[in-house]
Amino acid sequence: MLSIIPWILFLKQGQRSAAIRNYLRMSKQPTADEKESLLSSTKVSFLHQGDKTEEFINYLRIDGFLILHIIARNTDDIVAGQIVDHLYKNFEPERRSARSDV
């Protein structure tokens, strides 16, 4: 019974969003500008486009996130990050919204 409490807390929207952003951050290679910014110690976001990222997080919903979390727990965060990165690259919000009108 006690083991379900951390799972419920982890599935909250803020936790899901932070975890997905962390996976995207881990899998992204910094561009030349970002490397330069890192050297000058200015903080630059490694994240992809903000609006698309939020839509992607909402698209995954709880069940998609739960599967990614199970994958991360049974393999490692790098594998989960690569999966999230591939899913993110193939995610097209405009195509999804066009289908929802049908």
At 50-95, the pLDDT tens digits run 678 889 888 998 889 889 989 988 998 888 889 999 999 898 876 5
Query: Is residue 1 a part of any domain in this protein?
Result: no
Query: Is residue 3 a part of any domain in this protein?
Result: no
SS (H, E, C) the chain: CCCHHHHHHHCCHHHHHHHHHHHHHHHCCCCHHHHHHHHCCCCCCCCCCHHHHHHHHHHHHHHHHHHHHHHHHHCCHHHHHHHHHHHHHHCCHHHHHHHHCC
Whether pTM exceeds 0.85: no
Query: Is residue 61 a part of any domain in this protein?
Result: yes
Query: Is residue 62 a part of any domain in this protein?
Result: yes
Query: Is residue 43 a part of any domain in this protein?
Result: yes
CA 38 to chain centre: 22
Q: Which domain holds residue 88?
A: 8-27+34-100
Query: Is residue 2 a part of any domain in this protein?
Result: no
**In the prediction, which pLDDT does 14 show?**
82
**Count of structural domains within the chain:** 1
Query: Is residue 83 a part of any domain in this protein?
Result: yes
Residue listed under structure tokens 């193939």? 90
- Higher-pLDDT residue of 75, 100: 75
Note whether 71 and 80 are within 8 A (CB): yes
